[in-house]
Amino acid sequence: MNSMGPCALYVSACGTIEHADAAAPALLGMDAKALLGQLVLNRVDGPSRERLRELWLPGEDPAQEAPPSWRHDLTVLRADGSRVPTCATAHRSADGEPGYLVLELTPLVRRALRDDVQAPESLHDALTGLPNRRGAREVIDAALAIGSRNGQTLSVACIDIDNFRSVNEGYGHDVAESVLRSIGARLSALAHGYCRVCRTAGDEFLVVRRGADSAEDMRGFVPQLISRLQEPLEIDGQTLIVTASIGIATHACRGVDFDALMQRASHAMSRAKRLGRNTWYFAPVDVAPSLQQQAIKTRLHRAIEHNRLTLHYQPIVDLESGSLRSLEALMRWNDEQLGQVSPAVFIPVAEESGLMAALGAWALREACGQAARWQRELDLGCPIAVNISAVQLQRGELEQDVLRALDLHGLRPGMLELEVTESALIHDGAHLADMSRRLQALGIGVAIDDFGTGYSNLLYLKHFHPSKIKIDRSFVHDLANDREDRAIVRAVIDMAHAIGAAVVAEGVETTEVRDALRQLGCDEAQGYLFARPAAADQVGDWLRLNSGQRYPARVA
Ligand code: C2E
Ligand code: MG
Ligand code: MG
């Protein structure tokens, strides 16, 4: 076929073949008349279709996105279903209507022989019809190529069905296959704009999004995915509910490749699993490529060894009286080379590299020591709150660490509070509820942190019986203007009070928000309006100055 003459297809702006060179009918295995009027996308195989859509979207203004000319491999579908790999050169016609494309196809004979042996259809998953892992590589490579030219970002969501093995074992292979097909269909139905769905392994799907701010698109999209996926499935007269854990990685299209993105998305997915499943986790954007992550890991090791981490403290105040209710301990790391690294960045690294248990135990000891000193020197009468990571909860040594830290500094259990995020709680709920009860029986407070960002239900909360619920700052910062946020916060306050828990609003930055919270009956608040987190010395000065005044250190 290599010896055939020029073989170009002339494609209209709406994607139909309007004219073809003499050699084209032979290449496509159909007669010239039948060829005209066909959609060009129907004459190439799935991955090539994907690539063609990437490079040139029929019906869209080509000046917006597609490059003026390009060269790529495309596999042509002949009328008899056989495939011919080609190298395609495309350029927009200078004199035709906008979007008019001239597609010159040169068959690749050697490639054809090799691909025949290697079954080219293995780019697609037979069960769902979606691109498989090899197909996903094509989809992502093509998206990166386009996105690099346009300065766009690409987000990859790695979706893993929770406990899929139990579906397989409990309902059998056929039902499990139907479940996978339905999930593929649900994901595809939700995809809009530039959004591609692939099935990359048994119970693993990918959603790929490209755009100016694909991470922001994903933030809106992922909660929809989670809730759509967990809707009941009717299969063979049986009703099944499956949930999924989703990890999302985003990167500028320039400077990243398929493997790096997949690795980050898959790490993020594992983290979503560890956070209790049926939830999602965004790989931190700053920690991007593995080199930087590696640097953080190595330096964090050293920082822990050399005691270079510190705790800062931020007051939590009573909304009515303004008096101090507790102090939250927040980890700080100022590295000589990396500068100030946010705990939102280094805590996930510590969790992934096995450093979190030691780090968490250190924070407990350090905070208890500080509370004991303030109690002795300044008569501090309110507890110190310490954040607890999901990893500490799962290791089963938390109770021991807590009791040891109290004992070491002779601190009363009533002077300590633990903050556990909502998503960390969902994992192994019964066990955690027992532990929380034992700790609370000793007088240790247990607060649910970042409430509203995870997926706990009311019944679950009732079992857990927290002493405090901290409403995530995303619901708080616009409270004065946003009616929906107000309705949510009101509902959380009512629910928390119904189960006997106090409510703290996080991230209070303005007097308007403080007043709105007071009106809604919120008990306590934390935020820059009252005080920023500060080093122990500064907080000590502040406690000394404010003792007996607006923020008296002593609270009944
Ligand atoms: P968190 O526990 O929800 O802590 C509150 C975060 O909100 C802190 O960020 C605090 O500095 C910030 N914040 C307080 N008031 C305001 C405000 O008015 N506006 C805004 N925009 N932010 C405010 P930080 O210190 O960067 O900590 C981030 C997260 O890292 C914490 O969220 C917590 O989940 C985690 N973290 C910090 N220290 C520890 C620790 O010792 N152990 C564990 N496991 N996690 C920690
Ligand atoms: Mg906290
Ligand atoms: Mg919080």
- Is the pLDDT assigned to residue 415 strictly greater than 60? yes
Q: Where are the domains of the chain?
A: 7-107, 133-285, 291-546
| Residue 445 φ then ψ, to 5° | -80, 145
The pLDDT of residue 429 is 67
- Cα(425)–Cα(454) distance, rounded to whole angstroms? 9
Q: What is the mean pLDDT of residues 160-177?
A: 91
Least confident span in 84-93, 94-103, 121-130, 171-180: 94-103
The pLDDT of residue 7 is 77
- Is the pLDDT assigned to residue 462 strictly greater than 60? yes
Distance 515 CA to ligand 3 centre (A): 20
Nearest CA to ligand 1 atom 44: 389
Q: How confident is the model at residue 349 (pLDDT cuts 50, 70, 90)?
A: confident
- Residue 330 alpha carbon, nearest atom of ligand 1: 38
Cα distances (angstroms) measured from residue 103 to each of 6, 65, 229: 11, 17, 40
The pLDDT of residue 291 is 56
- Is the pLDDT assigned to residue 196 strictly greater than 90? no
Q: What is the mean pLDDT of residues 297-305?
A: 89
Query: What is 133-285's CATH topology?
Result: Alpha-Beta Plaits (3.30.70)
Distance 470 CA to ligand 3 centre (A): 7
85 lines ligand 1 (CB under 6 A): no
Q: Are strands 69-77 and 83-92 parallel, antiparallel or unpaired?
A: antiparallel
Residue 384: CB atoms within 10 A of its CB come to: 25
The pLDDT of residue 330 is 98
507-532 pLDDT, tens digit per residue, is 999 999 999 999 999 999 999 999 99
CA dihedral defined by 390, 273, 279, 448, rounded to 10 degrees? -10
Q: What is the mean pLDDT of residues 367-384?
A: 95
The pLDDT of residue 260 is 86
- Cα(458)–Cα(466) distance, rounded to whole angstroms? 12
- Cα(267)–Cα(248) distance, rounded to whole angstroms? 9
- Cα(403)–Cα(390) distance, rounded to whole angstroms? 18
Q: What is the mean pLDDT of residues 395-405?
A: 92
| Residue 208 φ then ψ, to 5° | -115, 130
Helix locations, 70-213, DSSP H = 109-117, 133-150, 164-171, 173-190
- Is the pLDDT assigned to residue 117 strictly greater than 80? no
CATH architecture of 7-107: 2-Layer Sandwich (3.30)
Q: Which CATH number fits domain 291-546: 3.40.50.10710, 3.40.50.11030, 3.40.605.10, 3.20.20.450?
A: 3.20.20.450
Residues 6+ apart with CB under 8 A from 532: 314
The pLDDT of residue 5 is 58
Torsion region of 337: left, alpha or beta (phi above 0 gives left; psi -120 to 50 gives alpha):
alpha
The pLDDT of residue 459 is 59
- Is the pLDDT assigned to residue 414 strictly greater than 70? yes
212 lines ligand 1 (CB under 6 A): no
Q: How confident is the model at residue 112 (pLDDT cuts 50, 70, 90)?
A: very low
Nearest CA to ligand 1 atom 20: 507
Amino acid (1-letter code) at residue 280: W
450 lines ligand 1 (CB under 6 A): yes
- Residue 311 alpha carbon, nearest atom of ligand 1: 41
> Vertex 316, ends 314 and 319: CA angle to 5°?
145
- Cα(424)–Cα(335) distance, rounded to whole angstroms? 28
124 SS3 class: strand
Residue 223: CB atoms within 10 A of its CB come to: 14
Higher pLDDT, 125 or 115: 125
223 SS3 class: helix
- Is the pLDDT assigned to residue 325 strictly greater than 90? yes
Of the segments 108-122, 175-189, 340-354, which one has the largest average pLDDT value? 175-189
Q: What is the mean pLDDT of residues 214-235?
A: 89
Q: How confident is the model at residue 555 (pLDDT cuts 50, 70, 90)?
A: very low
The pLDDT of residue 369 is 98
- pTM of this prediction? 0.57
Percent of the chain with pLDDT over 70: 86
Q: Which two tokens stand for residue 531?
A: 């005080």
Of the segments 33-37, 62-66, 111-115, 416-420, which one has the largest average pLDDT value? 416-420
Ligand with an atom nearest the CA of residue 472: 3
Cα distances (angstroms) measured from residue 394 to each of 149, 264, 424, 469, 527: 45, 23, 9, 21, 30
Cα distances (angstroms) measured from residue 90 to each of 45, 104, 365: 17, 6, 66
| Sign of the dihedral defined by the CA atoms of residues 297, 303, 305, 311, in that order | negative
Radius of gyration of the chain (CA): 29
119 SS3 class: coil
Nearest CA to ligand 1 atom 4: 330
Helix (H) or strand (E) holding 196: strand 195-201
- Cα(200)–Cα(304) distance, rounded to whole angstroms? 38
Ligand with an atom nearest the CA of residue 331: 1
Mean pLDDT of the chain: 83
350 lines ligand 1 (CB under 6 A): no
Mutate to test the pocket of ligand 1, among 271, 317, 327, 330 (most ligand atoms within 8 A of CB): 330
Nearest CA to ligand 1 atom 15: 527
436-447 pLDDT, tens digit per residue, is 899 999 999 999
Q: What is the mean pLDDT of residues 329-358?
A: 87
Helix locations, 191-324, DSSP H = 214-229, 258-274, 290-305
Q: How far, rounded to the nearest angstrom, does the alpha carbon of residue 71 sit from its chain's CA centroid?
A: 34
- Cα(174)–Cα(168) distance, rounded to whole angstroms? 8
Residues 6+ apart with CB under 8 A from 166: none
Distance 327 CA to ligand 2 centre (A): 10
- Is the pLDDT assigned to residue 79 strictly greater than 70? yes
Of the segments 165-174, 288-297, 412-421, which one has the largest average pLDDT value? 412-421
